[in-house]
Amino acid sequence: MEKICWAPTPHSYPLARHVRSPPIPRSTLSSQIRKMPAGLKLGPYRFYFYSHEPNEPPHIHVDRDCASAKFWLHSGELANNIGFSPKELRKLRKLVLDHQQLFLEAWYGWFGDSNR
């Protein structure tokens, strides 16, 4: 039986550029990350946020195949998870923390920094 996956809404648009795993040089991504709420592809993972979530604290969504998770950007803590194993969540949290500054810059660049 074929597995049916959640499909992204029209509000999320992945970047066309695929980037190798961390650490990613700021010079490589600074112009790309400003285009969020698009996303960032790291290996099999797609990191993104939605343009219609400005009333929540800064966070990032992560998808791979049929799995999806959400991490708070300031603490790196997991907000919710559908389908990722504990081992993979630890790896994702590390990726979120490794790129925390870039994600926060993209968040505040998109939504403004009045709520910092």
**Does 113 or 81 have the greater pLDDT score?**
81
pLDDT at 39: 77
pLDDT at 38: 58
Reported as a pLDDT band with limits 50, 70 and 90, residue 26 is low
What does the angle CA 36 – CA 47 – CA 37 come to, to the nearest 5 degrees? Answer: 15
Residue 14 has pLDDT above 90, yes or no: no
pLDDT at 33: 45
pLDDT at 25: 52
The domain locations on the chain are 18-111
Reported as a pLDDT band with limits 50, 70 and 90, residue 13 is very low
pTM over 0.85: no
Write out pLDDT tens, residues 91-111: 999 999 999 999 999 888 888
Residue 21 has pLDDT above 80, yes or no: no
Helix ranges (DSSP H) in the chain: 26-33, 86-98, 100-111
